[in-house]
Chain A
């Protein structure tokens, strides 16, 4: 079955430092989505990437979809304490409409 792995599993950064999480799928994805889950909360959609090599920015967040559509990354510039949470990538295998989540990266920002 499809496996979506993320590294690192945990990341502690000082406020103001940058942060990157990497997502790798065992199968080609038609699109990749990123979600953020705050402690005790539910996942909230951040963005969707569809095209091979696509790069999208949301303020301090930069999302990238690999050329082979099997990997993706999320980079946060100058982290803030509000960035704390677990970041998940998620993608549907092939042309399916269901969504499999990556293993997640838990970000802690030290003030």
Chain B
């Protein structure tokens, strides 16, 4: 199966700092990647759709200036949490779909657990 790698797996930062999370598709090209957020024992909430070479599409209620998404290549998307605060602490998971496939399964990264002190 396709492999999606996320880095870092966990990060602890001080309030007010910015944190960058990387999502890479290792053995396939992904025109579209998705960023989700998951609180403990809850579902995955779609934050944004990351499109290679263009601006991300954010879901309602997600601040685009706070959660900066960049999809510079077909294998890499990054999520930067700017000026992080304790309420941003969460599990962030990226996922990708194979290039050229509009529907179909998503391949998920291992997730990044962010703790903001």
Q: Using a CB–CB distance below 8 Å, which chain A residues touch chain B?
A: 1, 30-31, 33, 41-45, 48, 88, 90, 92, 97-104, 106
Contact = CB atoms under 8 A, between A and B. Distances in A.
B103 A43 contact: no
B74 interface: no
Given A99-B34, A101-B43, A101-B46, A42 B93 contact: yes
A101 B44 contact: yes
Interface in B78-95: 93, 95
A1 B60 contact: yes
Interface residues of B, number: 25
B80 to A, nearest CB: 21
A99 B46 contact: yes
Looking at chain A's contact residues, the main secondary structure is: loop
B43 A103 contact: yes
13 contacts: A33-B105, A42-B108, A42-B111, A43-B44, A43-B106, A44-B108, A97-B32, A97-B97, A98-B34, A99-B46, A99-B95, A101-B44, A101-B45
Nearest to A42: B108
